Amino acid sequence: MGSFLKKDLLVFWRDRKEVLLALFLPIVIIVVLNLAFSGLFDNDAESVNMNVGIVDENEHSTELEQFKLRLQEMDILEVEKEALINQASAIKPSELIVEFFNDPKLKEWIPYEKVSEAEAIKLVEEGDLDAIIKIPEGFTYDVLSSLLLEEDSSTPISILAAEQSMELNTLQNVVNDFIDTLNLQFALGSTVGADLEEPVLPQGGREVVEGVETFNISQYFTIAMSTLFALFIAQTVAMKTVTEKRERVFNRILLTNSNPLEYLMGKTLATFFLSMIQMLVTFAVTQLFLDVFPGKSLAFWVGVIVIIAAFALTVSGLSALFTSITLILNDSNAASGIFTMIVMSFGVLGGSFFPLQGLPVVFQKIGEWIPNGLTQTVLIKWIQLTSVQDLIVPIIILIVFFMACLVIAVTIFPRRGRV
C-alpha cells in the first residue's frame, strides 16, 4: 500500500495546477474575503467613529410652563392635575438626550459638542462634523404631551448630514433605540409608579456574555474555506482514477496481481494526508499573516489538529467512495458532475459559503450532521473555549462517517472484468 500512497502523493504534487488550487487558492480567498468584509462585520469601536454636533433649540422651562398652563385649563380633577404637573417637572427630555451622549462608552465612538445651528452647518460643510442632532423648539412640550396625555408627537428630533453613510445609519439607530427605550421605560414607570430609570445603552446589536469568547469573521472564513477545499481534494484524487483508466495504467496495475483494495487504500490515505496538509497550511499561513486566532494556547492548537485530523479522515472516506464510483461509471463526465454536486451541496448545507445561522432551522440541523458543517461547528465551539469532552462525540461521528464511506466503497469496488 505504501507504493500506492507514495505514487498518489507524487502524482498530486507534480500537478502544479492542483497544488495551486488546493494549497494557495483557499488562502488567497480567505485574505480577499477578510479585506472585503472586515469593514462590514468588524464591531470594534474604531469601525464607527462620528463627530456629532447637538443643536438644542428647546426652551425647557418655558415649554414646561406652557404645558403646566395647559393642564390647568383642562377639565380634570385637581388631584390628577397635581400628579401630572409633578411628573412633567421630573422629565427633562433634551437633558436626557445630552446625558445619553455623555456616556463614556458612547462618547468613545460618537463624540459630540453643543453648537448653534448656523455654526453646526458651517462645521459640517468644513468636514469637522459628520452629523447634526437637532432638538427642535417645542420638543419638551411635545414629549410631555405625548408621554402624559398620549397625544401624537409632532416635533421629532432630526438628524442632518452632508451624505448618507453606514455610520449615519448607525447614529439613527442609536437615537431611535434611545427614544424607544425612553418611551417604554416611562410607560412601565407610570404603570407601576416607579421612578424613571436611566435608559440602557445599546451595545451595537451584539450580545456580550462574560467568560465566553466570540468568534470573528476571519476565523469563520479560515474554517469554512479550508473545510470546503479539503472536500475538493477528495474529488481531485478520485478523478485521477479517470486518467489512470483512460491511459490504461489501471489495467497495468490489475495485471500485477496486487490486491485492488491496496489501490483503493492508497487513494484513501493519500487524500487523508493531502487534506490534512491543506488544512494545516491554511490555518498556519492565515495565523502567521492575519493573526486569525490571537493569543491562543498550545492546547487550543492541539485541539485544532485533532479536529482537522478527524475531518481529513472523513474526506478520505469520501475519496474512497468517489474512487469506487469512478471505476463503476463508464462516463467520467457524469462522475465528475456527481462529485461536484455532492461537494457543493456539502459546502452549502455545511455552511462553507455562508454561516449556518442564516439558513432555516431544518437546514441548520442537516448541516450539523454533514462532515464539514459538523467540523465547522466543533471548531467554532473550540474557539469559544468549549471543554475537551465536547469534542468526543463529534469526532466519533466523523470517524463513523469515514467508516461508512469506506465500507460502501469496498463493497461497490468493481471485481475483475467489470472495469
Partner 1 sequence: MLETINLSKTFKEKKAVDEIDIYLDDGESVGLLGPNGAGKSTTISMISSLLKPTSGDVKLNGKSTIKDPSEIRKVLGVVPQEIALYEELSAYENLHFFGKIYKVKKGFLENRIQEVLDMVGLKDRQNELVKTFSGGMKRRVNIAAALLHHPKVLILDEPTVGIDPQSRNHILETVRKLNEDHGTTILYTSHYMEEVEQLCDRVYIMDHGKVVASGSKDELLSILSSEDTIQVQLSKSSDNLLEAIKAMKPVRRVDETSDGIRIISKKDSSILNNLVHAAEKEGIQITHFQLEVPSLEDVFLHLTGKSLRD
Closest separation between CB of residue 321 and partner 1, Å?
Answer: 23
CA atoms within 13 A on the CB side of 8: 30
Q: Is residue 4 part of the contact set for partner 1 (CB under 8 A)?
A: yes
256 contributes a contact to partner 1 by CB under 8 A: yes
Cβ distance 28 to 108 under 8 Å?
A: no
**Cα three-residue angle 294-371-401, rounded to 5 degrees:** 135
Closer to partner 1 by CB, 206 or 418: give it: 418
The reply to whether 294 sits near partner 1 by the rule CB under 8 A is: no
Residue 405, SS3 per DSSP: helix
Q: Which of 70, 105, 114, 252 binds partner 1 (CB under 8 A)?
A: 252
Considering only residues 378-417, where is the footprint of partner 1 by CB under 8 A? 416-417
User: Closest separation between CB of residue 252 and partner 1, Å?
Assistant: 4
Is 257 a binder of partner 1 (CB under 8 A)?
yes
- Residue selected from 96, 254, 344, 359 as contacting partner 1 according to rule CB under 8 A: 254
Q: How many CB atoms lie within 10 A of CB 205?
A: 9
- For residue 191 the three cell numbers come to 404603570
- Between strands 112-114 and 52-56, the pairing is parallel
* Closest alpha carbon to 376 in 364, 388, 387: 364
What SS3 state is found at 207?
coil
Q: Kindly state whether residue 23 participates in binding partner 1, applying the rule CB under 8 A.
A: no
Looking at the Cβ atoms of 14 and 206, the one nearer to partner 1 is 14
- Other residues' Cβ atoms within 10 Å of the Cβ of residue 303: 19
Q: Residue 5 has which C-alpha cell? A: 500512497
**Shortest gap between Cβ of 7 and partner 1 (angstroms)?**
5
Sign of CA dihedral 325, 331, 332, 336: negative
- 258 in contact with partner 1 (CB under 8 A): yes
Residue 381 half-sphere exposure toward CB, CA atoms < 13 A: 16
161 φ, ψ to 5°?
-150, 160
Site string for partner 1, 261-290 (x = CB under 8 A): -x----------------------------
Options 11-19, 71-79, 182-190, 327-335: segment touching partner 1 (CB under 8 A): 11-19
Task: Tell me the C-alpha distance between 220 and 347, whole Å.
Answer: 14
**Applying CB under 8 A, which of residues 6, 107, 114, 365 lies at the interface with partner 1?**
6
Q: Half-sphere exposure of residue 289, counting CA atoms within 13 Å on the CB side?
A: 13
User: Is 249 among the residues that bind partner 1 (CB under 8 A)?
Assistant: yes
Residue 29 as a binder of partner 1 (CB under 8 A): the answer is no
- In the complex, the smallest distance separating the C-beta of residue 368 from partner 1, rounded to whole angstroms, is 39
What x-and-dash track marks residues 66-105 binding partner 1 by CB under 8 A?
----------------------------------------
Give the cell for residue 140: 419638551
Q: Which stretch binds partner 1 (CB under 8 A): 86-94, 214-222, 243-251, 361-369?
A: 243-251
Q: Is residue 331 part of the contact set for partner 1 (CB under 8 A)? A: no
3-state helix, strand, coil in the chain (%, to 5): 70, 5, 25
The residue range among 10-18, 150-158, 171-179, 180-188 that interacts with partner 1, by the rule CB under 8 A, is 10-18
Chain residues binding partner 1 by CB under 8 A are 3-4, 6-7, 10-11, 14-15, 247-249, 251-258, 262, 416-417
